[in-house]
Amino acid sequence: MKSATGSSASERLLRAPGAQQADDWSPNGQVVLYTNVSKSGENMSPSEIWALPLDGSRTPFPVVRTAGVAANAEFSPTGRWVAFQLNESNRFEVYVQPFPHGDKVRISTDGGVQPRWRADGKELFYIDADNQLMAVPVDVESVRTPKVGSPVPLFTPFWSLVPHHPSIKNYSVSRDGGRFLVDVLRETTSPVTVLLNWQPEG
């Protein structure tokens, strides 16, 4: 952790085996969600979502435990729910779950990664199995049983990085859900230079 102004030294928050990827801050700034990968350096190694309180003893605790791959967690605007991607079989799907514990509810219908909340908590965005950016209305705050609408495709960017890798984050969304900042490939191609009869020095 370090001040955004750069005015303070970096502070190490956690030392643990494997690899950890910070995913999100709670709205009140008191908890960090992170992905805990059991074997550092291996693609698609089993991973879980953990929470690290930033006060008191700073003892981390599990939020999503799985034998598969859970990643890319994000707090809802109230901090009462967490959205995440989970691969327990042959592809990722997007789920939401009460924080810190509770039953998960599936959001995506045809694969899904990188969930992002609209600022009012009434809509979730994610990337589906066809790399389309999707939007789905949700109501998890005002009802006892979460209500999930039908996903609607918005557009299909030409992503610069593979969206379905668990450590990738390709986009961000404005607070009103009306604009997106997307990491895409440029349409132009770079020239390729071929050297013939090249001889190594020495």
**Which amino acid, 173?**
V
Class of domain 19-182: mainly beta
At residue 127, the pLDDT reads: 96
- What are 20-74's pLDDT values in tens digits? 999 999 999 999 999 998 765 445 567 899 999 998 889 999 999 998 899 999 9
Whole-prediction pTM value? 0.85
Residue-averaged pLDDT of the chain: 88
pLDDT band at 6 (very low <50, low <70, confident <90, very high): confident
Give the model's pLDDT for residue 41.
Answer: 47
| 164 confidence band (pLDDT: 50, 70, 90) | confident
Q: What is the mean pLDDT of residues 78-89?
A: 93
In this predicted structure, the answer to whether residue 168 has a pLDDT above a threshold of 90 is no
**Highest mean pLDDT pick, 13-17, 88-92, 120-124, 141-145:** 120-124
Q: What is the pLDDT of residues 181-195, one digit of tens each?
A: 998 876 656 677 776
- Domain boundaries defined on the chain: 19-182
